[in-house]
């Protein structure tokens, strides 16, 4: 019987190959352009806002992306890549 790979717990980084293409695109956009809001990511990636929202949820649950409340507009969140532990 093959061994099952352990399921990642929330906020534990996972392999990017397990994520949908939209999440990979959002992660790469954050890597190249730095932190951004959901609206900014939708504009940069040219993906629908709903798709970006889903991708960000997947990335946050995987521990790849973190978010904080925007200091400019408290109604928005600013997303950035999680810092890699060294």
> For the chain, what are the domain ranges?
17-81
> Does the structure show a pLDDT above 90 at 6?
no
CATH top class, domain 17-81: mainly alpha
Residue 68 main-chain phi, psi, to 5 deg: -145, 160
pTM across the whole model: 0.79
Question: Which structure tokens are listed for 11?
Answer: 């906020």
pLDDT in tens, 36-86: 999 999 999 999 999 999 999 999 999 999 999 999 999 999 999 998 654
């Amino acid at each position: 019987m093959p061994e099952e790979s352990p399921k990642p717990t929330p906020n534990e980084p996972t392999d990017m190959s397990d994520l949908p293409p939209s999440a990979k695109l959002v992660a790469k956009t954050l890597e190249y352009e730095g932190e951004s809001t959901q609206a900014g990511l939708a504009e940069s990636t040219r993906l629908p806002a709903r798709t970006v929202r889903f991708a960000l949820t997947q990335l946050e649950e995987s521990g790849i992306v973190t978010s904080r409340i925007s200091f400019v507009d408290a109604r928005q969140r600013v997303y950035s890549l999680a810092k890699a532990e060294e």
